[in-house]
Structure 1
Amino acid sequence: MSNNVIDDRATRLGEYIVENKATVRRAAKQFGVSKSTVHKDVSQRLKYIDSGLYKDVKNILAVNKAQRHIRGGLATKKKYESLK
């Protein structure tokens, strides 16, 4: 893949995460790429492409990371409630 395609994907991923306050997993599913690809694009490549967008994405991912244990607990609760 050319750098332009990768840079464009990184920018689009960053914009999607900011607009939707999306998780890495959700962005990966939406764009049909792996979580590793999303993470590398928005945490390494985006810094050099669009530093403002990079900072916005970084803040959203920090919030998501702080909340993930809560979402995991809710998912587990929902799973066991559906088994009853």
Structure 2
Amino acid sequence: MKGNMEERAVRLAQYIIENRTTVRAAATKFGVSKSTVHKDLSERLPTFNRPLYLQAKAVLEENKAQRHIRGGIATRQKYKGR
């Protein structure tokens, strides 16, 4: 999803909010890097759509708080042979 960066930032934020997904999942869905997702959401989006940025930031903060749990689950599955 190349092209208009503002439009991409809005679509990324909407996707993350609607699906309560991670940065990694959004990057895969849109075919961009995680760095691009972070830059779009943290630097570009607040300049032109602050309310949407705040909603997306809340989801990202929730994901950040839960990441140690997801990491533990992934490690457990790895050693269980899944």
Number of the residue aligned with 1:37: 36
Question: After the TM superposition, which segments of 4 or more aligned residues of structure 1 sit over 3 Å from their partners?
Answer: none
TM-score when normalising by structure 2: 0.93
Aligned-pair distance for 1:36? 0.2
TM-score when normalising by structure 1: 0.91
Number of the residue aligned with 2:48: 49
Distance in 2 of aligned mates of 1:32 and 1:40 = 15
Distance in 1 of aligned mates of 2:65 and 2:21 = 14
- Alpha-carbon RMSD across the aligned residues, in angstroms, is 1.3
Distance in 1 of aligned mates of 2:73 and 2:31 = 26
1:1-84 superposed matches below 5 A:
5-82=4-81
Structure 2 gaps, min length 5: none
Distance in 2 of aligned mates of 1:78 and 1:29 = 22
Amino acid at match of 1:7: E
- The total of aligned residue pairs comes to 81
Which structure has the larger Rg? 1
Query: % of aligned pairs identical?
Result: 56
CA distances 1:1-26 after superposition (whole Å, capped 9, x unpaired): 76xx1100000000000000111101
